[in-house]
Amino acid sequence: MNAPPIQRLVTELAKLPGIGNRTAQRLAFHILRADPQEAYALADAIREVKERIGLCEVCFNLAEGPRCRICLDERRDPSIICVVEEPNDVIPIERTHEFPGRYHVLGGALSPIDGVDPEDLKIAQLYARVAEGGIREVVLATNPTTTGEATALHIAEGLRERAPDVTVTRLASGLPVGADLEYADEVTLGRAFAGRRAV
Amino acid sequence: MNAPPIQRLVTELAKLPGIGNRTAQRLAFHILRADPQEAYALADAIREVKERIGLCEVCFNLAEGPRCRICLDERRDPSIICVVEEPNDVIPIERTHEFPGRYHVLGGALSPIDGVDPEDLKIAQLYARVAEGGIREVVLATNPTTTGEATALHIAEGLRERAPDVTVTRLASGLPVGADLEYADEVTLGRAFAGRRAV
């Protein structure tokens, strides 16, 4: 019973991840009720992001220009590179304020089943960055999933061949802070044991 | 650490109801990754809905033109009007396929605390519609909340004075279908008792 423009908006909103039809309906009505300025600001922000944001030519993170803010930041240590799957993985790492170096965004993880091969990711570009020299450590921060682990392993082997002097590390896997042993799954708990440290 | 256009999009998305900062971030990254055509379709749908959708001159439902689809539909019974608070209340009622008549959208509910007085709602317009004649029943389908009940009561009194021949009804209140007596709140259960029917 929606008028076509409303239905069109509901359909477009429902394509967003985690937004079902009901939520899309609710969001559409909010937009209908909202101040036109607010609605146009949202529409413009969507257009702008597609028009102005590309990939950094160095690390393939999102960038508003040829290079991203982190690659442009002189204070960031260029000798340590953190390898992540997607641009949105950079944000939680930045939030920790623990990582002083730069990034390399692969654009996904290896998954032969889904047809994602090494050539589909920015792996060759990582090797090229390392080959240029000046890199002492590569931190593999792909997700602790099957595909993320496979990707980390593949890159670790590739780097070992190409740049044996570069330290290759992987983020620690174990119990999340605040977790309860009783509810930990056995794989995580196994990892936590394997990675135990002296206190 | 987001580039300004991304941050702008996250900020605009986070203004939507039920969308927090994390979700806005996730949606923004989806839009960044999405096919440009899909992103532009969403931006255009937002603009279009603001430019093309207004209020029906008869019932104040959303309309793509001077009158809404329901007021234009000759098959709808013009002698019975269902009064709702907001345009989005029309959709669930239409979904039941139980209501053959037309609507009247108030644009809210009376709430002296929030400064919503009868003049702020389309109540006078409802009285004018009824005064034109040809209406035999007005169904008050405002929400079963304090403000919705107060609005229904106010309109019921106004109609009794102005059009004593018009039947004024209120949607039944009671246990939702599929509910469990054990978990019903006492107000709902009280209503269900008060409104019990012979079987």
Residue A22: list chain B partners with CB under 8 A.
Answer: none
Both structure tokens of B51:
């430019």
Tell me, what's the pLDDT at B150? 93
Distance from the first to the final alpha carbon of chain B: 65
Per-residue pLDDT for A116 more than 80?
Answer: yes
The pLDDT tens digits of the residues spanning B130-171 come to: 999 999 999 999 988 889 999 999 999 999 999 999 999 988
A49, A68, A91: best to mutate for the B interface, most B CBs within 10 A:
A49
Q: Can you tell me whether residue A181 is helix, strand or coil? A: helix
Q: Which of residues 33-72 of B touch A (CB under 8 A)?
A: 36, 38-50, 52-53, 62-64, 68-70
Tell me, what's the pLDDT at B1? 61
Per-residue pLDDT for B197 more than 80?
Answer: no
Element of type H or E holding B83:
strand B80-84
Does the beta-carbon distance from B48 to A86 stay under 8 Å? no
Q: Which of residues 96-135 of A touch B (CB under 8 A)?
A: none
Per-residue pLDDT for A196 more than 80?
Answer: no
- Across chain A, how many H-helices and E-strands are there? 8, 6
The pLDDT tens digits of the residues spanning A58-110 come to: 999 999 999 999 999 999 999 999 999 999 889 888 888 888 999 999 999 99
Q: Can you tell me whether residue A137 is helix, strand or coil? A: strand
**How would you classify the pairing of strands B167-170 and B137-140?**
parallel
Residue A69: list chain B partners with CB under 8 A.
Answer: 1, 3
Q: What CATH superfamily is the domain A4-52? A: RecR Domain 1 (1.10.8.420)
Does residue B184 belong to the interface with chain A, where contact is any CB pair within 8 Å?
Answer: no
| Pick from A89, A90, A161: nearest CA to A130 | A161
Tell me, what's the pLDDT at A49? 93
Residue B52: list chain A partners with CB under 8 A.
Answer: 3, 5
Per-residue pLDDT for B178 more than 80?
Answer: no
Residue B41: list chain A partners with CB under 8 A.
Answer: 12
Task: Work out the minimum CA distance from A47 to partner chain B, whole angstroms.
Answer: 6
| Pick from A136, A199, A147, A140: nearest CA to A173 | A140
Least confident of A80-94, A121-135, A178-192, B103-117: A178-192
Residue pair A167/A137 in contact (Cβ under 8 Å)? The answer is: yes
Both structure tokens of B108:
């809210």
Residue pair A32/A6 in contact (Cβ under 8 Å)? The answer is: yes
Does the beta-carbon distance from B69 to A3 stay under 8 Å? yes
In eight-state DSSP terms, residue A76 is S
Does the beta-carbon distance from A29 to B5 stay under 8 Å? no
- Cα distance between residue B142 and residue B107, in whole Å: 11
Distance from the first to the final alpha carbon of chain A: 65
Task: Work out the minimum CA distance from A190 to partner chain B, whole angstroms.
Answer: 30
Q: What is the ipTM of this complex?
A: 0.73
B43, closest residue in chain A (CA to CA):
A43
Residue pair B107/B86 in contact (Cβ under 8 Å)? The answer is: yes
- What average pLDDT does chain B have? 90
Domain boundaries, chain A: 4-52, 75-170
Residue B89: list chain A partners with CB under 8 A.
Answer: none
Helices (H), chain B: 4-14, 21-33, 36-52, 69-72, 90-96, 123-131, 146-162, 186-194
**Domain range A75-170, CATH class:** alpha beta
| Pick from A198, A111, A62, A31: nearest CA to B33 | A62
The pLDDT tens digits of the residues spanning B88-100 come to: 889 888 888 888 9
The pLDDT tens digits of the residues spanning B12-55 come to: 999 999 999 989 999 999 999 899 999 999 999 999 999 999 99
Tell me, what's the pLDDT at A152? 93
- Cα-based distances in Å from A78 to A131, A142, A167, A170: 14, 20, 14, 18
- What average pLDDT does chain A have? 90
Residue B6: list chain A partners with CB under 8 A.
Answer: 49, 53, 62, 64
Tell me, what's the pLDDT at B131? 95
Tell me, what's the pLDDT at A170? 87
The pLDDT tens digits of the residues spanning A132-161 come to: 999 999 999 998 888 999 999 999 999 999
B4-52 and B75-170 share one fold: no
Query: How large a percentage of chain A has pLDDT more than 90?
Result: 69
Tell me, what's the pLDDT at B145? 87
A22, A44, A50: best to mutate for the B interface, most B CBs within 10 A:
A50
Residue A17: list chain B partners with CB under 8 A.
Answer: 26-27, 30
Per-residue pLDDT for B198 more than 70?
Answer: no
Task: Work out the minimum CA distance from A110 to partner chain B, whole angstroms.
Answer: 18
Task: Work out the minimum CA distance from B113 to partner chain A, whole angstroms.
Answer: 21
- CA torsion, ordered A51, A57, A60, A65, to nearest 10 deg: -30
Residue B40: list chain A partners with CB under 8 A.
Answer: 46-47, 50
Does the beta-carbon distance from A16 to B5 stay under 8 Å? no
Task: Work out the minimum CA distance from A97 to partner chain B, whole angstroms.
Answer: 11
What value does the mean pLDDT take over residues B4-13?
A: 94
Strand order across the beta sheet in which B102-105 lies: B102-105, B80-84, B137-140, B167-170
pTM > 0.80: no
